[in-house]
Structure formats: C-alpha cells, structure tokens
Amino acid sequence: MLLEKKNTAGIDSISIVDTRDTAFDSFTIEGWEIDVLGMETVPKLVDAAGLCVCLQGDAEIALDGRSYHFKKGDLCVLLPHTILQISRKSKDFKGYTLAGTSEFVHNINIPSSTAIYLYIKENPCISLSRDEQQMLLSLCDMIKEKDMRKGHLFRYEITEMLLLTLCYEIVAIYQKGKPLERQSYSRKSTLFIRFQHLIASHYHTHRNVEFYAEQLFITPRYLSAITKDISGMTAAECIIRVVIINARLLLSTTKLTIQQISDQLNFPNPSFFSQYFKKNTGMTPKEFRDQY
C-alpha cells in the first residue's frame, strides 16, 4: 500500500497497491483539512517515497524524530521507511505532493545511490528558487501524466527514466552544482540505513536484535554500537520505537480490538502486548486509546 488519505471533504482517496497499475499519484494538501494522512495525532512509519513542495503557508513536521519548519518555497523529500508526523500546519498551508510506492523507487538503479540516499536522508528539507520550484512541479506533473498511460507499451520504462531524472534534479538542487561525493559516507552509516529498512519490513515479526544483526552479517554488539553512535539509541531501542509508534497508530486510528492489534503485531497474547506497551509508554493500550 502507498498512502491512504482519509475521507475528508475535498480530498480524493488514494490507494495504490500494484506498481504496474499506478506507481505514482499527486495531490494537494491544504491547511484547513484535518489530519489528512493520519499523521497529526501520532507519528506514522511511511512505507512510501515522495516529495512535497510548500506553495504557501507553513507547517511544523518531524521526520525520524527531527523537527523541521516547512515553509513556502521549501522542498521536503520523504524516503521509504521514514517516521513522519505533522505537528502543525497553518490554515493557509498548501503543499503539492508526489508520492510513489517504495517498491517502484527501489527498482531505480542510481549510481552511487547510497551516497544520494544518505545525503537526502540527512537533509530532507531545503529551500527552492522560483525556477527550481517550477521545474520540479512540471516534472512531477509529467511523471504522473506518463504513468497514467496504462496501455502504453513502454509506460513503466518511461516513468522509470523520468523518476531517475527527478532524482538527479533533486540531488543537483541539494548540491548546488557541486559534484556528489561518492565515498563520503561510512560503512556504519550504510549499515544503519539498512537496519532501519529491515526494522520497517520486519518489526511485526522480529523484535530481537540478533535477527537484524544476522541479516546485516554483523554481531548484535556491533549493531548496537553503530545505532548508539549515529542515533543515540541502542539497536533494541530503535526496534521498540518502531513497534510502539505503530501500536499507537493502530490504537488511535482504528477500531481494532486490543486482541486484534496484539495479533497483528505478532505478540503471543494481549497480556504480553499490554505489558510491552506499558513498559515502554507508561500506560496500558486501553489507557492510551481512552485519550482518543
């Protein structure tokens, strides 16, 4: 699934499953809309990729726990498996958004992709010139237009090449004409990003550090040392954070029972889930849900 926008007045529904059906969609988020993507009450782990250009107004957002003031003329790039929360947006806020499935984005073969990924991951929000903004908006519209031609023989390939163009245009804006330093990121940084991706894919079935260390071909101790150095959290704390974020999301935005949420997150039973949740939040799932 890509993104699902709540059924709010003036908002079209978005539900993208198959990249061969529709790999991208574009839409506008406005300030008067309430909790558009379910991210204004609790953080959400987003399994999608996209960008948003602020056309007017401003907003306060948090990406992976870091706060940003998103204002008119700014570009925000959202990479797959980012924890996103919209803390506030002004009533006159208007943002043009292009969103695509993470599977489609991962299929793009970009030279030095690790450096590109890490650079943008560390700098998700930047200011655009008027020309840069217009260029990106035009390119986004073209991507959407070409991707909608379902009967075209080379639809997927054309969309893929346009996405590659968009990626390079964005990186060029970030670099402001400076050549990309292809070896500027350490192995530790690369392992940390891979660890984040693994958590996003397996948090509901694996909550032990050993599993992730094995997938990365390193020891649990070294994995925790890496995460502590980069994020200030141990590997176990990184895993717990994602589990709790998604548990909070299910409790606050769905009508699933505690039993169903416990099952969905692969806990042995609701009692174990409640103990885990209370240990890491200070309240039971029921107490948390009662706030909403």
Instruction: Give burial (CB, 10 Å; 0-12/13-18/19+) of 153.
Output: exposed
pLDDT tens readout for residues 239-262: 999 999 889 888 887 889 999 999
Q: Within this chain, do residues 90 and 113 fall inside the same structural domain, yes or no?
A: yes
CB 72, CB 53: distance < 8 Å: no
Q: What backbone phi and psi angles, to 5 degrees, belong to 255?
A: -105, 15
User: How many domains is the chain built from?
Assistant: 2
CB 69, CB 60: distance < 8 Å: yes
Amino acid 114: pLDDT:
61
Across 7-16, 37-46, 113-122, 190-199, least confident range: 7-16
Looking from the CA of 196 toward its CB, the CA atoms found within 13 Å total: 22
Q: Within this chain, do residues 140 and 236 fall inside the same structural domain, yes or no?
A: no
Higher-confidence position of 231 and 103:
231
Mean pLDDT of the chain: 80
Amino acid 45: pLDDT:
75
Residue % of the chain over a pLDDT of 90? 37
Q: Within this chain, do residues 238 and 273 fall inside the same structural domain, yes or no?
A: yes
Q: Is residue 8 part of a domain?
A: no
Which run of H or E residues covers position 150?
none
d(CA 292, CA 286): 10
> Domain end: 119, 148, 175, which one?
175
Amino acid 260: pLDDT:
94
For residue 152, the domain's CATH number is 2.60.120.280
**pLDDT band at residue 41 using 50, 70 and 90 as cut-offs:** low
Q: Within this chain, do residues 267 and 152 fall inside the same structural domain, yes or no?
A: no
**pLDDT band at residue 82 using 50, 70 and 90 as cut-offs:** confident
Residue % of the chain over a pLDDT of 70? 77
Q: Within this chain, do residues 162 and 218 fall inside the same structural domain, yes or no?
A: no
**pLDDT band at residue 187 using 50, 70 and 90 as cut-offs:** confident
Q: DSSP code of 119? A: H
**43-66 per-residue burial string, b: 16 or more CB within 10 A, e: under 16:** bbbbbbbbbbbbbebbbebebbee
> Domain end: 113, 148, 175, which one?
175
Domain that holds residue 220: 187-290
Higher-confidence position of 27 and 125:
125
d(CA 6, CA 12): 9
Q: Is residue 15 part of a domain?
A: no
Amino acid 12: pLDDT:
26
Q: Within this chain, do residues 238 and 164 fall inside the same structural domain, yes or no?
A: no
> Domain end: 119, 144, 175, which one?
175
Amino acid 206: pLDDT:
95
pLDDT tens readout for residues 152-184: 889 888 888 888 888 889 888 887 755 555 444
